[in-house]
């Protein structure tokens, strides 16, 4: 047990966030070290994990061994930012207000558009003056469930993250003093902040709290897969169920080693062997925050929920379709230097690859229309 704890703590030191890479990931460690019994590892895991390690996951709608794939009804929130209707409404106004940018023409929703999977459908984002950014725009969907934010994990909470794009010169390019002057002079926002946060002074941190409160309402937990896990036997097709089996099988898709329950992410960082890592000056990802060798070119694992709506894929937007993603993983990446130990070439038939793609399509929920908020003019 001490040895497995040492391995797991080493992962955390290397920049992995939250728990280990999920049940399948821990099972993989057992196979690698070859000296620790599944029983020993299982004793340190949640109760649901034992059945997985024992090979007892039952692929039947509503089975108890599947319930750990269901998300809580709502994400956790900081003690000093409990969600209320007033805070969420204020955050929504701020999220959609282009006047929060230096040129007053770009809002959070400009890059995180509800109709585009809360992203922008571009390979990499566009910032101030339409400048092309280095990384793809991550979706807002289910970020409230994540213990760490952004591709390189440089922000822990949504509150910490919210001001980053607003003040970044390459993105919304807004001076915080100018922002506060605007909000304090606007009677509509004055009332909205007073209703939401009572006597708290209007500070940049309060702006961030409001935006984070709204972002925590952007949730996906009603997909075909979720309904199947809850017991609806008709929610997924036979092909999608086959795809799920392959998805969690370490000898086949091995997908859940990183895209683990319940949000289909381990919140860890991995170098996936993308071709862009072979550039003369590649994006080093997590290494810029945690200068440890295995973090070179490693980026945060995104959620797969609503994956059909968030193309293109990878941090550099280099895969335009899910089929292209599967092709990348089947060959085990392009640039193998410093590749994640979780990444290995896959032995999949064309049908099996198609089955996994079909399963990923089952992670889509019914589209939810978002009404634009009325913004206070004065």
pLDDT at 40 over 90: no
pLDDT at 260 over 50: yes
- Both structure tokens of 209: 């709290």
Q: Tens digits of per-residue pLDDT, 341-351? A: 999 999 999 99
The reply to whether 351 and 249 lie within a common domain is yes
The reply to whether 163 and 48 lie within a common domain is no
Nearest-angstrom CA–CA distance, 113 and 119: 5
335: containing domain: 2-71+222-361
The reply to whether 42 and 22 lie within a common domain is yes
Q: Specify if 315 maps to a domain.
A: yes
> Number of folded domains in the chain?
2
For range 329-341, the mean pLDDT: 97
CATH number at residue 6: 1.10.760.10
Q: Specify if 334 maps to a domain.
A: yes
The reply to whether 234 and 349 lie within a common domain is yes
Q: Specify if 164 maps to a domain.
A: yes
- pLDDT the model gives residue 55: 54
The reply to whether 134 and 160 lie within a common domain is yes
The reply to whether 165 and 282 lie within a common domain is no
Q: Specify if 368 maps to a domain.
A: no
Q: Tens digits of per-residue pLDDT, 135-171? A: 999 999 999 999 999 999 999 999 999 999 999 999 9
The reply to whether 238 and 345 lie within a common domain is yes
Query: Could you please report the per-residue DSSP string of 223-246?
Result: SHHHHHHTT-TTSS-HHHHHHHHH
For range 110-120, the mean pLDDT: 98
The reply to whether 147 and 275 lie within a common domain is no
**CA-CA-CA-CA torsion for 297, 303, 307, 309, nearest 10 degrees?**
-100
The reply to whether 294 and 338 lie within a common domain is yes
Q: Specify if 201 maps to a domain.
A: yes
Residue that finishes a domain, picked among 169, 185, 215? 215
């Amino acid at each position: 047990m001490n040895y497995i704890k040492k391995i797991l703590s080493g992962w955390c030191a290397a920049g992995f966030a939250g728990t280990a890479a999920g049940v399948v990931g821990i099972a993989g460690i057992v196979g690698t070290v070859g000296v620790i019994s599944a029983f020993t590892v299982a004793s340190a895991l949640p109760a649901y994990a034992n059945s997985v390690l024992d090979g007892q996951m039952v692929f039947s709608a509503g089975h108890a061994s599947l319930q750990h794939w269901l998300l809580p009804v709502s994400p956790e929130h900081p003690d000093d930012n409990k969600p209320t209707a007033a805070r969420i409404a204020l955050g929504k106004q701020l999220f959609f207000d282009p006047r929060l940018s230096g040129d007053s023409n770009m809002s959070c929703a400009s890059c995180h558009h509800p109709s585009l999977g809360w992203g922008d459908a571009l390979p990499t984002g566009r910032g101030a003056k339409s400048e092309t950014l280095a990384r793809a725009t991550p979706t807002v969907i289910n970020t409230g469930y994540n213990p760490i934010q952004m591709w390189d994990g440089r922000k822990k909470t949504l509150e910490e993250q919210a001001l980053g794009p607003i003040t970044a010169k390459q993105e919304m390019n807004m001076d915080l003093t100018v922002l506060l002057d605007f909000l304090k002079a606007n009677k509509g926002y004055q009332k909205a902040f007073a209703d939401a946060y009572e006597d708290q002074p209007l500070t940049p941190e309060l702006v961030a709290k409001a935006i984070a409160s709204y972002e925590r309402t952007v949730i996906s937990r009603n997909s075909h897969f979720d309904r199947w896990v809850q017991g609806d036997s008709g929610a997924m097709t036979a092909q999608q169920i086959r795809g799920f089996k392959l998805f969690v099988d370490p000898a086949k898709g091995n997908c859940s080693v990183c895209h683990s329950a319940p949000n289909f992410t381990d919140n860890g960082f991995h170098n996936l062997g993308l071709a862009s890592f072979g550039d003369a000056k590649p994006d080093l990802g997590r290494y810029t925050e945690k200068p440890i060798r295995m973090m070179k070119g490693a980026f945060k694992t995104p959620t797969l929920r609503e994956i059909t709506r968030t193309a293109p894929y990878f941090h550099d937007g280099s895969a335009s379709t899910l089929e292209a993603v599967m092709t990348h993983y089947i060959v085990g990446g392009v640039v193998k230097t410093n590749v994640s130990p979780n990444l290995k070439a896959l032995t999949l038939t064309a049908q099996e690859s198609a089955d996994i793609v079909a399963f990923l399509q089952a992670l889509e929920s019914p589209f939810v229309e978002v009404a634009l908020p009325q913004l206070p003019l004065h």
